[in-house]
Structure 1
Amino acid sequence: MDENNYTFPEMENMMQDVITSIPAVKAFFYCLYITIFATGICGNVLVCYVVFRNKSMHTVTNIFIANLALSDILLCTFAVPFTPLYLFMHEWVFGAILCHLVPYAQGVSVYISAFTLMSIAIDRFFVIIHPFKPRLQLKYSLLIIVFIWVAAGLLTLPYGIFMDLVPGKDGRPYCDEGWPHDSFRKAFGFTTSVMQFVIPFLIITYCYFRVCCKLRDRARFKPGANSQRKMEMEWERTRRLNRMLISMVLIFGVSWLPLNVHNLVVDFYIPASSWAYLNGFFFLSHAIAMSSTCYNPFLYAWLNENFRKEFKTVLPFLNESRVCQFCDATRAREENEPDEENPQPGCSSQPPVEHRERATSVKYFTETDSVRMKINQKDMGTAV
């Protein structure tokens, strides 16, 4: 085994996995990746559009969300189409430039997503835990985003440099890593997993744990009767936003955990490259990781009223359904938690207008007849 091409026999064994030779399996993964690509691109482009088109959406959290959508678009563009085609075709036919660019863009995108989620968690931590301190300004959030992109590009740079085309035994080219020493590859793989996954999630977990504890303590506090409803509404909006952000983190973590486990096993346990179903496990873990680009737009539309309204403005067909079909507990709370005295428009429990008018008319005539009867009886008594 040549020192510079130490990984190509492993890649060749991976290419010969029986999983990729089954037509039904190929068709399944082709359909899956096409769905992920179309949904991820359309959904995240829509998120970026509604954030950038409306100045009222230019908040710190929404700017970070738009940056997360941009990283998902980058991931969909480079990771979703090229990786399955490469493994199914059993050779790299996209040229030397894309051999460096595609893996590099994938690594950059994952770093951007992880660091952006971490920035959102830190921002929510200071907003909830230290509410009287000045909030992060929009211009500084843009500087943070620039720093995230630069840091992601620099941290992934070795990966892009040491990717190269290597010839296989059958003469077909493979796009594979060509590190000078095996220890460099292992060190870079371990460091990448820690920087992309472990450290951000430790910070995110700590921030949201403190936020949840703070909101729980607030819920126990009983303010005065006049301000109780307003404070409860504000806390409910904060809890909904935090539920959305925590859900984003959980989706990202669950989606990327299998692929990180696969990469660590392959890096540190060389015999794993000869496992019969390693390629099948890689395909499943990679598809799950790529599917993380599809969930966030649906999550925004479900848990965030501002995004839902903007989506309806851009996509008018979302307004075709009747309002009453969506009057569940979540929507009721989002519409200022209406009660019996202030029913939600479109879902009113009051009778129709014509029925109310009819009931009022009956009551009026009945009372009028009663008064008239009393007057007549009085007149008759006077006459007698």
Structure 2
Amino acid sequence: MSTLNAAMVYDDILLQTTSLQIVFIIFYIIVFLLGISGNLLVVYVVLRKKAMQSTTNINIANLATSDIMMGLFAIPFTPLTFFMESWIFGEFLCALLPMTMCILVYVSTLSCTVIAVLRYFAIVYPLKPKIGRCTCFVIVVFIWTLSTAISWPLGYFRKTIIVNDTVICRKTWPNEQSRQSFTFTNMILQYLIPCSIIIYCYVQISLALDRRSKSRVVRNSTDSEREQREIQRKRRTNKMMIYVVTIFVVCWMPLNLFHIISDFHQTYSPYYSLIFFIAHLVAMSSTIYNPFIYAFMSEKFKTEFKDLLRCQQFCE
């Protein structure tokens, strides 16, 4: 997903401008440090206490895990390979890294979709049995398995080749139609279908909470006040997850549009790499926002983060 599709060319504006390269490297380092540290904190907080291991939080931890791996795989290798103007990591990593990027994006979108669907059934149909932690972990394994199965063509059709005495890693699809079909299908499976499901679920959840809130106000009892507080808590969680999904879609949309346009209209421009890296950096920045959203919008995460920081200060 995140490696360049075309061979390196020497009139590229980004290759010729050292100051631009330095700016990109600085931004990549910032995103790497914030993304890794923030998401490690989220995973640790969820694993630390059983009380934090709700179905939503388990999937949030899975989402954070994919962001950590995104930071480890995508952020260093993509700019490093470009600025070195050759592929030095061998045939195996040439196939593995693009496939891994695709897997991680699927894990993120499917995790967001699962969270929305589970919350939909828990809130819209509250009398139905809720799934347990074991079932939730099975779902996490299924997400990774399905993501790998869908993404394998990116690894299978990725090879190292020599162009002008330079080793590059590029896609070797059997024909243009198969390459374009995979790109188009990816867009549908990664974004259009999950986003449609997520939007439907959160709209129905909002409507259900509004109906429940109005019915509790009419009753006007002590129990009703407690239920109102619970409804407000669910609304905050709902809003939090909507922000998470919105930021993910907004950040990754430019890179996906870039891939679609470049796959269907293969015309080279000196600004090709500059546009790619802007879109890629925006996509990678999606790894840094979620921990801040949890800290500001989830009372449980906020409390756990504060406790962890207080413990760290005390230990020092």
TM-score by length of 2: 0.93
Q: Structure 2: state its 5+ residue gaps.
A: none
Name which structure has the greater RCO, CA cutoff 8 Å, separation 6+: 2
C-alpha separation between the residues in 2 aligned to 1:149 and 1:228?
41
Deviation at 1:317, TM superposition (A): 7.9
Q: Deviations over 1:266-316 (max 9, x none)?
A: 111122xx1232211111110011011111111111111111111122222
The one-letter amino acid of 2:123's match is I
Question: Is residue 30 from structure 1 mapped to residue 25 from structure 2 by the alignment?
Answer: yes
Segments ≥4 residues shifted beyond 6 Å: 317-320
Corresponding position of 2:148? 153
Deviation at 1:213, TM superposition (A): 1.8
C-alpha separation between the residues in 1 aligned to 2:11 and 2:172?
21
Corresponding position of 1:216? 210
Corresponding position of 1:316? 310
Question: Is residue 206 from structure 1 mapped to residue 200 from structure 2 by the alignment?
Answer: yes
Structural RMSD (CA): 1.8
Tell me which structure has the larger Cα radius of gyration: 1
Q: Deviations over 1:121-180 (max 9, x none)?
A: 0011111111111112211111111111111111111101111111112x1111100112
Range with bigger deviation, 137-146 or 112-121:
137-146
Q: Deviations over 1:188-246 (max 9, x none)?
A: 11111111111111111111111122222333332223333212211110111111111
Within 5 A, what are the aligned runs for 1:171-186?
Answer: 171-186=165-180
Corresponding position of 2:242? 246
2:227 equivalent among 228, 231, 237: 231
Give the SS at the match of 2:160: strand
CA contact (8 A) 2:11 2:270 kept: no
Aligned length: 309
The one-letter amino acid of 1:200's match is P
C-alpha separation between the residues in 2 aligned to 1:231 and 1:70?
33
TM-score by length of 1: 0.77
Deviation at 1:66, TM superposition (A): 0.6
C-alpha separation between the residues in 1 aligned to 2:76 and 2:311?
30
Q: 1:140 to 1:16 in 2, by over 3 A?
A: farther
Within 5 A, what are the aligned runs for 1:80-99?
Answer: 80-99=75-94
Deviation at 1:318, TM superposition (A): 8.8
C-alpha separation between the residues in 2 aligned to 1:173 and 1:126?
51
The one-letter amino acid of 2:21's match is K
Question: Is residue 275 from structure 1 mapped to residue 269 from structure 2 by the alignment?
Answer: yes
Within 5 A, what are the aligned runs for 1:1-384?
Answer: 10-13=6-9, 16-169=11-164, 171-221=165-215, 222=217, 223-271=219-267, 274-316=268-310
CA contact (8 A) 2:237 2:298 kept: yes
The one-letter amino acid of 1:242's match is N
Deviation at 1:248, TM superposition (A): 0.6
Range with bigger deviation, 276-285 or 111-120:
276-285
C-alpha separation between the residues in 2 aligned to 1:226 and 1:177?
64
Range with bigger deviation, 219-228 or 297-306:
219-228
C-alpha separation between the residues in 2 aligned to 1:220 and 1:148?
37
